[in-house]
């Protein structure tokens, strides 16, 4: 939608109000990639295996995409590179919805807001049939960096031009004992996200070789799920006027779960199915189609724990919500839902095995991260205003 659309104006107003309350000028959200230092592009070229000529062509093509995104973004505050990313993810999800014969209305307007917690928000524009999907500020950068750290935590194996990864608990522990860089990286950018409000405030890094390939698969899966989950709310009709939930939520008389929680589980399953369909078009098996979904929940859980320590000095004192179940519960429900994606029990077990390994890595990361956040809390350091006052 153009900048002057009703939905775009509504999102721009929300951004002005929300970011203003967090002490952030919304005009600062749009970053100029031309300001990136040359060593950033040199490191990127090494990670992608590109020579100087190929990298120059890549940068030129990428800038053309950003120029197009800048012209198409819904508000003047959207970062063109982020808009391009979400736009491409949404295209993949929409193609999957068509293949699955799920009905979607016109494309929502996308943007970022400081939502104070690790989630996204889909709202119907007042007096309109349009939707706005607002993602927590920094969530895509967080998923990008998290998938790198998780991928680097799995020991890789190579045979000729083929590679694989070990998921055995002892192999993973020995790998991280020999090189704790992924644990340190996760701690660094999670601290940057919690205290500076931006995960990219941490040192940028690139992964070479097989871990980079796996990280890219995990990133696309995790970020597609973040978008697909919000599409799930729209497909399921959760935003229809007769389905809106009053403040505080209502409870189902049968199972006593908040109706909003039930909506989240339904959107999770639809988002998982849409993501799996999107990844399957790239000929990945179910384990790799699902891995990014499961990792997204584990990464969100890490952020929730870190925020709880930063706010209260206690990882167990996480914010409860009538609208969103705990990430760990959502992860458990998603794994159960795998059986609805295929009748092949071997594929289901393989997917759960990789998911278990990623969850274990998350726990190892938290062992490294928690003492740092406890010390920061004792020193009086508190979260960025993007997480609320």
Burial 112-127 (b: 16+ CB within 10 A, else e): bbbbbbbbbbbbbbee
CA torsion 277→350→150→44, rounded to 10°? -50
Q: Which of 86, 113, 136 represents a domain boundary (last residue)? A: 136
Residue 1 lies in a domain: no
| 65-74, 157-166, 186-195 — most confident range | 186-195
**What is the pLDDT at residue 205?**
81
pLDDT band at 119 (very low <50, low <70, confident <90, very high): confident
Centre a 10 Å sphere on the Cβ of residue 98 and count the other Cβ atoms it contains: 11
Q: How many percent of the chain have pLDDT more than 90?
A: 65
Q: Catalogue the long-range contacts made by 206-210 (C-beta closer than 8 Å, 24 or more residues apart).
A: 206/43, 206/44, 206/46, 206/47, 207/47, 207/148, 207/151, 207/152, 208/46, 208/47, 209/156, 210/156, 210/158, 210/163, 210/165
Q: Which of 118, 136, 154 represents a domain boundary (last residue)? A: 136
Query: Quick check: 74 and 7 in contact, CB under 8 A?
Result: yes
pLDDT band at 239 (very low <50, low <70, confident <90, very high): confident
Distance (Å, rounded) from C-alpha 154 to C-alpha 164?
10
Question: Are residues 212 and 326 located together in one domain of the fold?
Answer: yes
pLDDT band at 356 (very low <50, low <70, confident <90, very high): very high
Average pLDDT of the chain, as a whole number: 88
**What is the pLDDT at residue 71?**
86
Residue 197 lies in a domain: yes
pLDDT band at 35 (very low <50, low <70, confident <90, very high): low
Residue with tokens 């660094």: 188
Question: Are residues 256 and 342 located together in one domain of the fold?
Answer: yes
pLDDT of 251 > 60? The answer is no
pLDDT band at 90 (very low <50, low <70, confident <90, very high): very high
Distance (Å, rounded) from C-alpha 3 to C-alpha 21?
23
Tell me: the pLDDT tens digits for 141-175?
999 999 999 999 999 888 777 888 999 999 999 99
Question: What is the rounded average pLDDT of the residues 355-366?
Answer: 96
Distance (Å, rounded) from C-alpha 124 to C-alpha 240?
8
Question: Are residues 143 and 272 located together in one domain of the fold?
Answer: yes
Distance (Å, rounded) from C-alpha 51 to C-alpha 42?
9
Give the least confident one: 11-25, 89-103, 201-215. Answer: 201-215
Give the end-to-end CA distance of the chain in Å, rounded to a whole number: 33
Query: Quick check: 317 and 311 in contact, CB under 8 A?
Result: yes
Q: How many domains does the chain have?
A: 2
Residue 289 lies in a domain: yes
pLDDT of 226 > 80? The answer is yes
Question: Are residues 114 and 218 located together in one domain of the fold?
Answer: no
For residue 120, what are the β-bridge partners? 135
For residue 156, what are the β-bridge partners? 165
pLDDT of 271 > 50? The answer is yes
Residue 146 lies in a domain: yes
Q: Which of 95, 112, 136 represents a domain boundary (last residue)? A: 136
**What is the pLDDT at residue 254?**
32
Query: Quick check: 341 and 349 in contact, CB under 8 A?
Result: no
pLDDT of 64 > 50? The answer is yes
Residue 100 lies in a domain: yes
More confident residue, 66 or 173: 173
Question: Are residues 46 and 194 located together in one domain of the fold?
Answer: no
pLDDT of 69 > 90? The answer is no
Strands (E), 75-137: 109-113, 120-124, 131-136
Sign of CA dihedral 349, 352, 358, 361: negative
Residue 155 lies in a domain: yes
Residue 77 lies in a domain: yes
Distance (Å, rounded) from C-alpha 109 to C-alpha 5?
10
Query: Quick check: 76 and 3 in contact, CB under 8 A?
Result: yes
Question: Are residues 190 and 201 located together in one domain of the fold?
Answer: yes
pLDDT of 248 > 50? The answer is no
For 274, the token pair is: 């849409």
Residue 188 lies in a domain: yes
Residues ≥6 apart with Cβ < 8 Å to 265 = 325, 330, 333
Element holding 32 (H helix, E strand): none
Question: Are residues 228 and 331 located together in one domain of the fold?
Answer: yes
Element holding 163 (H helix, E strand): strand 162-165
Query: Structural domain of residue 161, as residue ranges?
Result: 139-387
**What is the pLDDT at residue 177?**
94
Give the least confident one: 179-188, 234-243, 268-277, 329-338. Answer: 234-243
Question: Are residues 114 and 147 located together in one domain of the fold?
Answer: no
Question: Are residues 122 and 174 located together in one domain of the fold?
Answer: no
pLDDT of 257 > 50? The answer is no
pLDDT of 250 > 50? The answer is no
Running DSSP on this structure, what letter comes out for residue 251?
B
**What is the pLDDT at residue 146?**
96
Question: Are residues 239 and 130 located together in one domain of the fold?
Answer: no
Tell me: the pLDDT tens digits for 285-322?
999 999 999 999 999 999 999 999 999 999 988 766 66
Task: For strands 109-113 and 131-136, give the pairing.
Answer: parallel
Question: Are residues 260 and 324 located together in one domain of the fold?
Answer: yes
Distance (Å, rounded) from C-alpha 389 to C-alpha 383?
8
**What is the pLDDT at residue 228?**
97
Question: Are residues 103 and 149 located together in one domain of the fold?
Answer: no
Burial of residue 380 (CB within 10 Å: 0-12, 13-18, 19+) is exposed
**What is the pLDDT at residue 256?**
41
More confident residue, 185 or 247: 185
Nearest to 142 by CA among 199, 181, 95: 199
Q: How many percent of the chain have pLDDT more than 70?
A: 90
**What is the pLDDT at residue 231?**
96
More confident residue, 96 or 6: 96
Sign of CA dihedral 27, 28, 29, 33: positive
């Amino acid at each position: 939608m153009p900048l002057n659309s009703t939905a775009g104006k509504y999102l721009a107003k929300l951004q002005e109000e929300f970011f203003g309350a967090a002490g952030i000028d919304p005009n600062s959200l749009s970053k100029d990639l031309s300001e990136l230092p040359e060593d950033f592009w040199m490191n990127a070229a090494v990670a992608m295996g590109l020579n100087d000529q190929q990298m120059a062509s890549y940068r030129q093509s990428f800038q053309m995409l950003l120029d197009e995104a800048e012209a198409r973004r819904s508000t003047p505050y959207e970062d063109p590179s982020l808009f391009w990313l979400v736009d491409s993810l949404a295209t993949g999800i929409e193609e999957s919805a068509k293949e699955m014969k799920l009905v979607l209305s016109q494309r929502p307007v996308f943007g970022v807001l400081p939502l104070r917690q690790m989630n996204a928000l889909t709202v119907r524009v007042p007096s309109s049939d349009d939707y706005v999907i607002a993602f927590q500020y920094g969530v895509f950068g967080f998923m990008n960096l998290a998938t790198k750290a998780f991928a680097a935590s799995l020991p890789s194996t190579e045979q000729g031009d083929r590679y694989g990864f070990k998921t055995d608990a002892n192999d993973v522990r020995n790998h991280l004992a020999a090189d704790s860089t992924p644990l340190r990286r996760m701690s660094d950018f999670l601290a940057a996200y919690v205290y500076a409000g931006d995960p990219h405030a941490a040192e940028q890094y690139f992964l070479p070789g097989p871990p980079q390939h796996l990280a890219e698969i995990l990133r696309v899966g995790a970020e597609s799920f973040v978008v697909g989950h919000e599409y799930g709310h729209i497909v399921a009709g959760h935003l229809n006027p007769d389905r809106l939930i009053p403040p505080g939520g209502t409870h189902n008389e049968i199972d006593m779960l908040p109706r909003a929680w039930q909506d989240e589980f339904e959107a999770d399953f639809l988002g998982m199915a849409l993501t799996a369909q999107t990844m399957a078009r790239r000929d990945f098996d179910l384990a790799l189609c699902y891995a990014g979904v499961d990792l997204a929940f584990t990464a969100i859980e890490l952020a929730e724990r870190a925020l709880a320590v930063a706010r209260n000095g206690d990882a167990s004192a996480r914010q409860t919500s009538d609208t969103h179940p705990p990430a760990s519960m959502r992860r458990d429900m998603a794994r159960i839902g795998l059986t609805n994606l295929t009748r092949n029990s071997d594929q289901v077990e393989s997917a759960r095995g990789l998911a278990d390994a990623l969850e274990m890595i998350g726990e190892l990361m938290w062992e490294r991260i928690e003492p740092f956040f406890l010390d920061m809390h004792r020193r009086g350091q508190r979260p960025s205003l993007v997480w609320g006052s």
